[in-house]
C-alpha cells in the first residue's frame, strides 16, 4: 500500500541527499524544490524549505535513513487546503472552459497561462487521445499532445517572458499576477467562442476563492460568472488537463529557446542547478542578461551573485 512520509532536514543533509540521489533525479517541474527523485517504488520530493516528502510503499523505510518525520501539525495544516468548491452534478461531462498555469515556481523561463474550452461532444475524444494530468506525461508526450489539442479545441495562451515578468513583478505579487493572467485568458477565450457560452469555468485553484475575487476586482474585463475553483482541476474535467498540457508545452518550448540563445542547458524549477546556471549567465552578461531569462526576485539571484563573487572575487558583473 502506498504511503507518504515527510521529514525536515538540515542544509548539510539536503546536500548529501542531492548527491546520493544524483542518478535517480527526474526532470519534474515542481515549484520550490531542490530535486525530485525516483528510487525503486519511492518518489522523493525535496523542497528548498528543507522539507522532504517520500511517497510509495517503502516511503517510511526510505525516509528513516535521513531523519525523523515532521510533527503532526503539518498534517493538520495540509487538511486546511482541501477543496471546498462543490461542482455541479456530472461535471466531467459538461461543456467547460478550464484554465491552468505553468512556470510560476521556476526561476528560469516564462509564466504560461492557458484557457481551453472543451465542448461536451469533445470530452470522450480528448480522453481517448490521452489528455490527462500533465504530471503523468513525459515532456515529449506533452509537446506532441499539445499540438494535437490545439487543432481540436479553442484555446487562449498567454506567455509572460522573464523580462516582462520582472517589469510587472514589483507591482503585482505572484498571486495577483496569476489572477490577472487567468482572468485575461478566460476573457479573451470567451470573446473568441461567443455566442457559445460554457456551462462552467473551472480554474485550477492556486489561491483561496475569496483571494482570487479580491485581486480580480482591480482588473479590466472581469470574469465573475460560472466560476469554480478546485485543486487538481485536471481530475475533474479534461478542459483543465488540456489547458495544463498546452501551458506546459509552451513553457518547455521557451526553456529550449532560452537554452539555445544562452548556449547552455537552462533548467526548470528553482533548485541548486538553477543557481549554477544563473551564476554562469551573470558571468557571461551580468544582471542585464540574466533579467531576460530569469525571475530576478527569486532567492536564486542572490545565491548566484554570491557564488560568482566567491569564484572570481569580482563585483563588476553584478
Q: What is the CATH number of the domain that holds 174?
A: 3.30.420.10
How many Å is the Cα radius of gyration of the chain? 21
Residue 145, burial from CB neighbour count under 10 angstroms (0-12, 13-18, 19+): buried
Pairwise CA distance, residues 306 & 232, whole Å: 37
Taking alpha carbons only, the member of 274, 271, 313 closest to residue 290 is: 274
* Residue 75: per-residue pLDDT: 38
Domain that holds residue 14: 3-71
Q: Is residue 264 part of a domain?
A: no
* Residue 17: per-residue pLDDT: 87
Q: Which residue has the higher pLDDT, 126 or 83?
A: 126
Pairwise CA distance, residues 140 & 67, whole Å: 36
* Residue 83: per-residue pLDDT: 52
69-78, 126-135, 201-210, 279-288: lowest mean pLDDT where? Answer: 69-78
Residue 9 neighbours by CB distance under 10 Å:
19
Total residue length of the chain: 318
For residue 76, pLDDT beyond 60: no
Q: Is residue 81 part of a domain?
A: no
Peptide bond into 195 cis (omega under 30): yes
Q: How far is CA 92 from CA 2, 232, 283, in A?
A: 27, 13, 50
Q: Rounded to two decimals, what is the model's pTM?
A: 0.73
* Residue 74: per-residue pLDDT: 40
Pairwise CA distance, residues 237 & 118, whole Å: 9
* Residue 29: per-residue pLDDT: 65
Residues ≥6 apart with Cβ < 8 Å to 121: none
* Residue 80: per-residue pLDDT: 39
Band the pLDDT of 1: cuts 50, 70, 90: low
Band the pLDDT of 195: cuts 50, 70, 90: very high
Taking alpha carbons only, the member of 244, 217, 220 closest to residue 233 is: 244
Mean of per-residue pLDDT scores for the chain = 88
For the four alpha carbons of 233, 235, 241 and 244, in that order, the dihedral sign comes to positive
Residues ≥6 apart with Cβ < 8 Å to 102: 29, 111, 112, 244, 247, 248, 250, 251
Mean pLDDT confidence for 155-182: 94
Both 149 and 282 in one domain: the answer is no
Q: What is the pLDDT of residues 89-105, one digit of tens each?
A: 899 999 999 999 999 88
* Residue 9: per-residue pLDDT: 85
Q: Is residue 80 part of a domain?
A: no
| CB-based contact 83:231 (threshold 8 Å) | yes
Both 242 and 282 in one domain: the answer is no
* Residue 313: per-residue pLDDT: 56
For residue 12, pLDDT beyond 70: yes
Mean pLDDT confidence for 31-41: 82
Q: Show which of 31, 56, 71 is a domain's final residue.
A: 71
Band the pLDDT of 174: cuts 50, 70, 90: confident
> Which own/partner pairs from 33-37 qualify as long-range (CB within 8 Å, at least 24 positions apart)?
33/269, 33/270, 33/271, 34/271, 34/272, 35/271, 35/272
Q: Which residue has the higher pLDDT, 250 or 35?
A: 250
Mean pLDDT confidence for 270-278: 91
Both 56 and 138 in one domain: the answer is no
Q: Is residue 51 part of a domain?
A: yes
Pairwise CA distance, residues 188 & 206, whole Å: 21
Pairwise CA distance, residues 185 & 182, whole Å: 5
* Residue 159: per-residue pLDDT: 97
Q: What is the pLDDT of residues 202-241, one digit of tens each?
A: 999 998 999 999 999 999 999 999 999 999 899 999 999 9
Both 123 and 24 in one domain: the answer is no
| CB-based contact 241:116 (threshold 8 Å) | no
Both 48 and 119 in one domain: the answer is no
Mean pLDDT confidence for 70-92: 59
Both 123 and 252 in one domain: the answer is yes
Q: What is the pLDDT of residues 285-298, one digit of tens each?
A: 999 999 999 999 99
Amino acid at each position: 500500500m502506498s504511503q507518504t512520509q515527510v521529514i525536515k532536514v538540515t542544509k548539510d543533509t539536503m546536500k548529501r541527499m542531492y548527491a546520493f540521489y544524483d542518478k535517480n533525479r527526474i526532470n519534474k517541474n515542481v515549484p520550490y524544490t531542490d530535486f525530485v527523485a525516483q528510487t525503486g517504488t519511492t518518489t522523493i520530493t525535496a523542497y528548498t524549505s528543507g522539507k522532504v516528502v517520500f511517497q510509495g510503499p517503502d516511503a517510511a523505510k526510505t525516509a528513516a535513513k535521513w531523519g525523523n518525520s515532521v510533527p503532526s501539525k503539518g498534517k493538520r495544516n495540509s487538511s486546511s487546503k482541501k477543496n471546498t468548491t462543490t461542482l455541479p452534478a456530472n461535471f466531467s461531462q459538461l461543456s467547460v472552459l478550464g484554465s491552468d498555469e505553468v512556470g510560476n515556481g521556476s526561476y528560469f523561463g516564462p509564466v504560461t497561462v492557458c484557457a481551453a474550452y472543451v465542448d461536451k461532444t469533445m470530452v470522450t475524444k480528448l480522453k481517448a487521445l490521452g489528455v490527462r494530468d500533465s504530471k503523468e506525461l513525459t515532456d515529449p508526450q506533452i509537446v506532441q499532445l499539445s499540438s494535437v489539442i490545439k487543432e481540436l479545441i479553442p484555446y487562449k495562451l498567454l506567455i509572460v517572458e522573464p523580462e516582462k515578468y520582472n517589469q510587472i513583478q514589483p507591482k503585482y505579487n505572484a498571486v495577483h499576477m496569476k489572477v490577472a493572467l487567468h482572468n485575461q485568458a478566460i476573457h479573451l477565450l470567451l470573446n473568441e467562442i461567443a455566442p457559445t457560452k460554457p456551462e462552467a469555468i473551472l480554474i485550477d485553484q492556486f489561491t483561496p476563492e475569496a483571494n482570487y475575487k479580491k485581486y480580480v476586482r482591480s482588473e479590466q474585463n472581469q470574469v465573475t460568472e460560472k466560476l469554480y475553483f478546485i485543486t487538481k482541476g485536471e481530475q475533474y474535467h479534461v478542459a483543465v488537463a488540456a489547458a495544463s498540457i498546452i501551458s506546459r508545452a509552451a513553457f518547455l518550448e521557451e526553456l529550449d529557446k532560452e537554452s539555445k540563445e544562452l548556449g547552455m542547458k537552462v533548467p526548470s524549477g528553482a533548485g541548486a542547478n538553477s543557481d549554477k546556471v544563473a551564476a554562469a549567465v551573470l558571468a557571461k552578461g551580468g544582471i542585464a542578461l540574466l533579467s531576460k531569462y530569469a525571475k530576478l526576485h527569486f532567492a536564486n539571484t542572490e545565491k548566484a551573485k554570491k557564488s560568482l563573487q566567491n569564484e572570481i572575487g569580482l563585483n563588476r558583473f553584478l
